[in-house]
Structures are given as structure tokens and as C-alpha cells.
Amino acid sequence: MKAPRDQHFLVDKNAVERIAGLIDVKDRTVLEIGPGRGVLTRALLDRHAHVRAVELDYELFSDLLEDFEDVILAHRLEIIQGDATKCELPQFDIVVSNLPYSASSKITFRLLDTGFETAVLMYQSEFAMRMLAPVGTPDCGRLSVMVQTYACVERCFELSPNSFSPKPQVRSMVVKITPRYPIFSIDDRKVYADVVRALFSHRRKTVRNCLKGSSGMLEPGFVKYVLEQLPDEVLSSRPEELYLEDFATITNVGIGYRDNPER
């Protein structure tokens, strides 16, 4: 059976309890993205959380309004119908969600920009492993760098397709994400994100060639200045060989172009 709107509903009661119990949610405001049929929502409410849920599917949204009418009236649950990748998110402290596979990256980046205390999130296992891949190794990528720059990621447990209905064709993984300040100073978060995106757009090329081919992502003057200032050791490396410090250095050096626009 094909999953409508990328929806794989969690039906394993033990898995639901494990996810809801990974962090203390009592009296906390919890954001749940994609509540679906509300099994995780109910588990969070049973632990005395105040839940704010965002559901894209209008039919599911309507069903949730009916099924949870009592707790909605008691102001313990708020359900918003919208797309979590772009709608206005309510205020929250913690995130606990079974994310839709197709929107995992956009939602994760948005949550990191928004800010939160802790998040317990379920992803496709392959996606989660890319997030966990150590920076500076062949398995790392844009996702690894961006998430690990701004957060600590902890693998919790995996779930088989049997935990869902309809069954996905892949395994899923639950991870805990805890935001932190970057280890290395970053002068401009937006430019940093553009640098990481530009470099991993051509990950098999050298940093030098990635920067030269970054038209549309980085300003020509920025690129020229970086190529003049960075040591060959960095420029001749591939993006997957760089460490967090290197990405921060490239960004901060390039921002120096603003003070030397004629170079």
C-alpha cells in the first residue's frame, strides 16, 4: 500500500512509549509535527505535556479536532493545520515528532534556525546516519556539517517497517538533538550555510574548484578573496575532508571581502 502524502503511521505501542519517554515532557510545551492519527500525541498528553501539533492533511486535522476535543477545550492541546516547512510555528520548548521522510531536511534546518531545548525526532535510518556521520569522513555531507555545527546528535534506537502502517520500505531511526553554540566562531550564519551548500554541491571536486563553480550561491568577490587568502592545504582538499573549523574559517575569511571590496 502506498503511503498517502508520505504518511507512515506509527502503530507499535512500545515504540510510542519509548519515544514519548526519552525526555521529560511534564508541564513542558511540546511541538509535534505530523501527529497523524494522534498516537504519539496521546502519549505526550498522558505524560502531562502541553502539545502544539502541526498537521498538513486536512482530513487528519479534522479527525484530531474531534478525537481530542476534551483536551483542546482544556487548553492542553492546540492543533494547527498547515505545512511545517513554511507555516508560522507556535511557540514551544521541546520537539517530539515522527517526521515525514520527504520533508525531513527542510524541517530539521528550520527547527535549528528557530531554536529549541531538545528534540526527539524520527527519520528514515539512512537520513539519520548521514546526520550522524562524523565531519571530515567520506560519509559526511551538507546535512552532517550543518546539524553538527549547531547541535549534538545522539542515536537512540531503530524501528523496523513493522512498526508502521502502511509499512515503509526502509528502517527508521529515532535521534535526540540538543542545540549548542558552534565550537568555532561563525561571523554570519547565512553565509556559512551558503558556503557549506556550495562546497557540497560538487563534493568530489577540490575546495578551489567548488568555490569557482559556486555561481549563484556565493558572491564573485567573496570567492576571489577566499581563493587569494586560503592556504593551498585547504583549497586542494575535498569538502568531505574538511572539519568544522575549516568551514568556519572559509566563511570568516570570505566575509573579510566586505572590508576589502576592491580586491
Cell reading at 199:
562546497
**pTM of the model as a whole:** 0.91
Residue 64, C-beta contacts closer than 8 angstroms, at least 6 positions apart = 35, 37, 38, 41, 53, 55, 79
State the Cα torsion 151-154-159-165 to the nearest 10°. Answer: -20
Phi-psi bin for 36: left (phi > 0), alpha (psi -120 to 50), beta?
left
pLDDT score recorded for residue 5:
55
Question: pLDDT tens digits, the chain, 263 residues: what are they?
Answer: 344 456 789 999 999 999 999 999 999 999 999 999 999 999 999 999 999 999 999 999 999 999 999 999 999 999 999 999 999 999 999 999 999 888 999 999 999 999 999 999 999 999 999 999 999 999 999 999 999 999 999 999 999 999 999 999 999 999 999 999 999 999 999 999 999 999 999 888 999 999 999 989 999 999 999 999 999 999 999 999 999 999 999 999 999 887 776 65
| CA gap 224, 231 in Å, rounded | 13
| CA gap 213, 16 in Å, rounded | 46
DSSP state letter for 236: T
Cell 567520506 belongs to which residue? 138
| CA gap 247, 252 in Å, rounded | 9
| CA gap 195, 209 in Å, rounded | 13
Q: What are the beta bridge partners of residue 50? A: 29
| CA gap 200, 8 in Å, rounded | 30
